[in-house]
Amino acid sequence: MFPKISRVKKGKQVYEYLRLVESYRTKGKKKQRVVANLGAVESLKGSLDGIVDKLREYCSERYVKPNEITADEMPTWGTVLVARKLWNDLKIGRIIKRRCCEWTKGTDIETSAFVLVASSLIKPSSKHGLSWWLDESYVCGNDGKRILPDWRQGVTKEKRVRISWKQLKQWYRVLNILLRHKEEIEKDIYDNLVDLFGLKVDVVFYDMTSLYFEGEGPEGLAEYGKSKDGKNRNRQILLGIVMASGWPVAHHVFSGNSSEKKTVPIIIGDLKKRFEIEKIIFVGDSGMVSPENIEEIERQEYKYIIAQKRRRNNEVEKVLADNSDKWLICEKGTKVKEVNIIEGTRHFVVHSEGRQAYEHSILENNVQKTRCNLEELKKGLDKGLIKKPENIGYRISSVLHERKGYRYFSWEITKEGKLRYWQDEEKMKKEKAIEGIYVLKSNDKNIRPQEVVIAYKELCNVESLFREFKDVLEGRPIWHQTPEGTKAHIFIRALGYLLDTALHKKMEAAGVNLTVEEAIKSLEQVKIAELKLNGERRQIVTGAKYYAGAVLKSVGLSGYKNLLPGMI
């Protein structure tokens, strides 16, 4: 049944009539018949709206007038939708639910964990915190019910906490439960990566960083040590992360005064025992090298590729003294040669033209800056601004260490008490000789030199990813004041980085040339419109522009407009 306008000519005048007609078929032919004659169109003007309004009561679908539609709000949905898809693909929720079931009476541990981890992916550096993110986004569990912050004023004296203690305690409880099962959760995720994503663990990369505290930090964990953030006056912790094929496999938290070298046996033992990895090549940088570590790696029957320190290293000096021209071309601008000076151990000298140009520019910049600083210090000494000998030595040492100027300059105090400094050509010669040079060491008898270079370049890529992980750890400077709180915070950030990695890999496979940060930003335009239709609540998903659409498609969400809360 449908409306139809019929035109009837009376004399020179044409009249239009609105009729309801229906189609029917008789003897194989389509025909129409009039069900109701509503009258002349001209006379119906002004009354049709009322007729349609009355007819709405008899419709199976709910039809509303524009003035009956109101929009309460439009929280962000695209970011949460993608985070939930990645979460489900990696089966993290299932793992957490299974591992933590006996500790979660009265708590939806899977949803609570998702909230914490998704927040660390989407708003890792937000000053607003978790509660503000919940306020502006549509975050929900499998039931589609939205999770909102329970706002309160004056919860703490510092006024940083603005949600109720009840909700705050719930988040802390979830953190503690997750930390209690960290090792099992990591292992289960690793197994899923192997099964679902074809993760190959024939080469494992290990790196470390330092994270500093504001205040004293947790006793027994926060200690003074060599900071990689230049925060030597702050207590810190050391964080080690194990990577394979670009995926974060495990992480370990050590006290701030731990030696990097002493963490390696712990990592090796964990790979063997917890992950049951029998054959791998362990790749690490020069900071991980010690005779004891190499002995432990070999005792576990693992292979290794380790970058060696280029300076103040007798073994490396012997390797670099080799003048043979046995270079093999790896790729444009990179070559490698093998030098064997120790039985059972292989050394590889790698030369990179790109790295040489980069290191030379750094050298020239450091020389120029150090010379300026030394000249300024010399003028101050000439004016008698610094008199005590111990202070003079301290200031000179500080200037030379600031940009590693001790590698390029020498100095002395003359009989007249004046500072004399000069660019030491012998030192410069040594520095220029190692520009663009790497020395790698391995016990793998079968690996080809070119494969060693590929593995080392992968380590460089991992270090870049590790810096991204540190960016995700924007919880720095860390405020947690207990060891458990600190470790739980880092665990959540590590899971957030796992989602970050999954998104990066899916976009890369789909040819979407965006950073994860850019992808998240583009997804913020996809909203959930919360509508009231004449008292009835409805939700619709807004559209996505070019980049947001590409990101959604890359993770398998082309039909995102049909995915309302609770449907994924």
Phi and psi (nearest 5°) for 125? -110, 15
Query: pTM of the full predicted structure?
Result: 0.76
Q: What sign results for the dihedral spanned by CA atoms 391, 396, 399, 402?
A: negative
Interval 323-350: pLDDT, tens:
888 999 988 899 999 998 888 789 999 9
Residue spans of the domains in the chain: they are: 2-63, 78-180+508-562, 199-310+447-478, 315-433
Q: What dihedral do alpha carbons 501, 507, 511, 514 form, nearest 10°?
A: -90
Q: Give the integer Cα–Cα distance in Å for 424 and 407.
A: 8
Confidence of residue 39 (pLDDT cuts 50, 70, 90): confident
Does 259 have pLDDT greater than 50? yes
Tens-place pLDDT, residues 115-161? 999 998 998 754 447 888 999 999 998 889 999 988 877 655 555 56
Q: Say what the pLDDT of residue 474 is.
A: 47
Range among 119-123, 252-256, 324-328, 406-410 rated most confident: 406-410
Domain 199-310+447-478, CATH? 3.30.420
pLDDT digits (tens, 9 = 90+) for 260-298: 888 888 888 898 889 888 778 888 877 777 788 888 888
**410-429 in b/e burial notation, b at 16+ Cβ within 10 A?**
ebeeeeeeebebeebeeeee
Q: What is the CA 29 to chain-centroid distance, rounded?
A: 66
Distance from the Cα of residue 524 to its chain's centroid: 17
> What pLDDT is attached to residue 528?
92
Q: How far apart are CA 43 and CA 56, in angstroms?
A: 22
Task: Say if residue 317's pLDDT is above 60.
Answer: yes
* pLDDT, mean over the chain: 86
DSSP for 107-150, please give it. Answer: --HHHHHHHHHHHHHHSTT-SSHHHHHHHHB--B-TT-PBP---
**What letter would DSSP give residue 408?**
T
What are all long-range contacts of 182-191, with beta carbons under 8 Å and residues at least 24 apart?
182/487, 182/491, 183/274, 184/99, 185/92, 185/95, 185/96, 185/99, 186/249, 186/250, 186/274, 187/274, 187/275, 188/95, 188/98, 188/99, 189/90, 189/92, 189/95, 189/498, 190/249, 190/250, 190/275
Cα gap 238→261, rounded to integer Å: 12
The pLDDT tens digits for 364-390 are 999 999 999 999 999 988 888 877 777
Query: If pLDDT is split at 50, 70 and 90, which confidence band does 476 have?
Result: very low
